Structure 1
Amino acid sequence: MTTSGLHISNVTKYYTEGSNKISALERVSISVEPGELVAVVGPSGSGKSTFLSIAGALLKASEGEVNLNGHLLSKLSDKKLSNVRLKEIGFIMQSSNLVPYLNVLDQLLVVKKMSGRVRAADRAFAVQLLEELGLGSKLKSFPAELSGGEKQRTAIARALINNPNVILADEPTASLDTKRAHEVVSLIANEVKSRRKAAIMVTHDERMLEYCDKVYRMEDGRLSLAEPAKLEVTHV
């Protein structure tokens, strides 16, 4: 069995209300290999957030299994799950969630501090990432001095600083105009390919699907591979 990448097998998530079981996910299975960017689309309330939380080890499945780069999440203690989240997963959220009082370089280095001391090699890698993402001139800038696109590019770099194997992006273009949205998702796709990350992007924005290797639809807690002909992708 392949253990690199992200492999979710027959995952069900339900909540109990009195004697009733409320199902949020129904037997969801998906495999994402290193170097692959997969999109999950679907209406609000369809289960996308629950799915991403389980994929990111933030929520435990009621049934089924998540294999994240060889780690069976159901077998891990809370402490080991926390370590997996820090070292194996890079999160890119709807808003960049930058720390207001840290400059761009320190946004990345604070993540390294969480997992130990910051070495010279860590600082050099942070600078390399930021330069790669077009932020070489913004190392000392604070979030209030950045555009929306620059903030999201900083968030991408922050997600990559621990060299995680899996990238999970939750509506990364929600606050961006069309030009910046394409810029940000193109950068995510390029980083996923060049750094061989397994990546899932949850999005309402079907303009961004052209950058993805596969597209899945989530409806009523069920995940299915979308037929390309059914996707209305607008190119700009």
Structure 2
Amino acid sequence: MTGLVLKNVTKSFKEGDTMVDALKNVSLTVEPGDFIAIIGPSGSGKSTLLSIAGALLQPSKGEVLVNGTDIGKMKEKELSSFRLTDIGFILQTSNLIPYLNVLDQLLLVCKMKGKVTSKEIDLAKTLLNNLGLGGKLTKFPNELSGGERQRVAIARAFVNNSNIILADEPTASLDSNRAFEVVKQIKKEVKDRNKAAVMVTHDERMLEFCDKVYRMADGMLTLES
């Protein structure tokens, strides 16, 4: 099975003397080319789910499969490498490095795997061109608008050709017009490159761009539409 699969995942945390379930028996399948959204109030478990899907947290129970590999059985060193090569993260803020220009923001991710190849440089330039940043390759983050910085972050998430794209409130710091533009661009890259993508969002105006919408409440996930 390709894509992302969560099977009966529970995540428990200790609070004082009691155990609290942040996720309760959650199951989810996201196939390549799917762009799904998860909505719900703060504290409902959305970020915990995203962290488990991104191999940042291990489930207390259940399985997490990425392209058929059970990441719950990996050791920490394997997980670090896996996160670098198989997961692309897009966060609330672009988290760009101030002293790197736009192209080098992407190439740094490639360098973390080893030597940067000409193929990776070409892909980085193609991604930036596709996102309307072809004329900004040598610009630094302080020379970009908020929307442009977030588009660089989108390109960075795709540059390692990761199978899974996880977006955590990617429009939180943007005005409406830029927010719509950013989510449309995420969707386009997901479809064009056949990636499995999950977006956590509070902004229900963005849901029209998603294939399916799930709601998270009290650690439980249900399909809305």
Classify the TM-score, shorter chain: over 0.9
Per the TM alignment, residue 124 of structure 1 is displaced from its structure 2 partner at its CA by 1.2
Amino acid at match of 2:112: M
Deviations 1:174-193 (A, max 9, x none): 01111100100000001101
Number of residue-to-residue matches in the alignment? 225
Counterparts of 1:137-148 in structure 2, within 5 Å, are: 137-148=135-146
Which residue, out of 180, 183, 195, partners 1:182? Answer: 180
Counterparts of 1:87-166 in structure 2, within 5 Å, are: 87-166=85-164
Amino acid at match of 2:189: E
CA distance in 1 between counterparts of 2:120 and 2:52 reads 29
Superposition RMSD on alpha carbons, in Å? 0.8
SS at match of 2:13: strand
Amino acid at match of 1:220: D
18 and 152 in structure 1: CA distance in 2 versus 1, 3 angstrom threshold: closer
Per the TM alignment, residue 52 of structure 1 is displaced from its structure 2 partner at its CA by 0.5
Aligned partner of 1:86 in structure 2 is 84
Aligned partner of 2:167 in structure 1 is 169
Amino acid at match of 2:7: S
Per the TM alignment, residue 18 of structure 1 is displaced from its structure 2 partner at its CA by 4.9
Amino acid at match of 1:86: L
Amino acid at match of 2:43: G
Does 2:200 correspond to 1:213? no
Per the TM alignment, residue 19 of structure 1 is displaced from its structure 2 partner at its CA by 4.1
Deviations 1:159-205 (A, max 9, x none): 00100000000000001111100100000001101100000000000
CA distance in 2 between counterparts of 1:130 and 1:211 reads 21
Per the TM alignment, residue 23 of structure 1 is displaced from its structure 2 partner at its CA by 1.1
TM-score normalised by structure 1 residue count:
0.94
**Uncovered stretches (5+) of structure 1, i.e. residues with no partner:** 229-236
CA distance in 1 between counterparts of 2:14 and 2:90 reads 30
CA distance in 1 between counterparts of 2:42 and 2:167 reads 16
**Uncovered stretches (5+) of structure 2, i.e. residues with no partner:** none
Per the TM alignment, residue 16 of structure 1 is displaced from its structure 2 partner at its CA by 2.3
Per the TM alignment, residue 17 of structure 1 is displaced from its structure 2 partner at its CA by 3.6
Per the TM alignment, residue 20 of structure 1 is displaced from its structure 2 partner at its CA by 1.7
CA distance in 2 between counterparts of 1:106 and 1:37 reads 28
Give the percent of matched residue pairs that are identical in Structure 1 and Structure 2.
63
Aligned partner of 2:202 in structure 1 is 204
CA distance in 1 between counterparts of 2:3 and 2:149 reads 27
Deviations 1:29-50 (A, max 9, x none): 0000000000000000101111
CA distance in 2 between counterparts of 1:121 and 1:213 reads 31
